[in-house]
Structure 1
Amino acid sequence: MAVTKAILEKWMVAQKRHRLSDKQVQMARELGLNPDKLGKIDNHKQEPWKAPLPQFIEEIYFKRFKREEPETVKPLKQVMAEMEIRKKRQKAEKEERRKQRVLSSDSAE
């Protein structure tokens, strides 16, 4: 599934709202959690038996992947910047292919 800019923006909002670190956001993304639903998980003040959200994310990440943290941690801003660079490169390559196609069709005539 392709990661869109809108999804990353939702994660940025969730990161601020729930006071999560870049590492915890990446863990939650790898686990496939929904940024809109994190509030349901993070109500440990009303329900003291629930673990705080950052702790909960780290616990289920360890259960699933058998490691404490991701191998490489990338901040969301860096992911978005890489996405923009990739998009610009693809656009330039597509424009180059169009030019080549036009040139080859002109020389064939």
Structure 2
Amino acid sequence: MAKKRKSTWAEAKKRCRLNQVDIQMAKELGMTPKSLLQNIPSPTQQWKAPVKVWVRDLYKKSLVE
């Protein structure tokens, strides 16, 4: 039986191309590393923004509201 590995912030940072500020924004929004990794757009999803842009947009919207 294969072991399931929990996703970590370091893995999400690398795969989503985030910096420490983006990680902090995601944490303040209550996101988990798993939710960030699940929102990486595939090549067929050209309408979907990269995770970095998506997190920043959500953070800006949370500040306005």
1:58 matched to which residue of 2? 56
Are the counterparts in 2 of residues 27 and 57 from structure 1 also a CA contact under 8 Å?
yes
Q: TM-score, normalised by structure 1?
A: 0.48
Q: Write the distance in 1 (CA, Å) between the matches of 2:8 and 2:17.
A: 14
Unaligned runs of 5+ in 2: 1-6
Unaligned runs of 5+ in 1: 1-8, 67-109
2:24 aligned to which of 23, 26, 35: 26
Residues 57-96 of structure 1 correspond to what in structure 2 (within 5 A)? 57-66=55-64
* Code of the aligned partner of 1:65: L
RMSD in angstroms over aligned alpha carbons? 1.7
Are the counterparts in 2 of residues 44 and 52 from structure 1 also a CA contact under 8 Å?
no
Q: What do residues 38-94 of structure 1 show as CA deviations (whole Å, max 9, x unaligned)?
A: 12211153211111110000000000123xxxxxxxxxxxxxxxxxxxxxxxxxxxx
Q: Write the distance in 2 (CA, Å) between the matches of 1:65 and 1:44.
A: 29
Higher helix share: 1
The structure showing larger relative contact order (alpha-carbon pairs under 8 Å, at least 6 residues apart) is 2
* Code of the aligned partner of 2:15: R
Larger radius of gyration: 1
Matched-pair identity in %: 34
Q: Write the distance in 2 (CA, Å) between the matches of 1:40 and 1:12.
A: 15
* Code of the aligned partner of 1:16: K
Q: TM-score, normalised by structure 2?
A: 0.76
* Code of the aligned partner of 2:50: P
2:14 matched to which residue of 1? 16
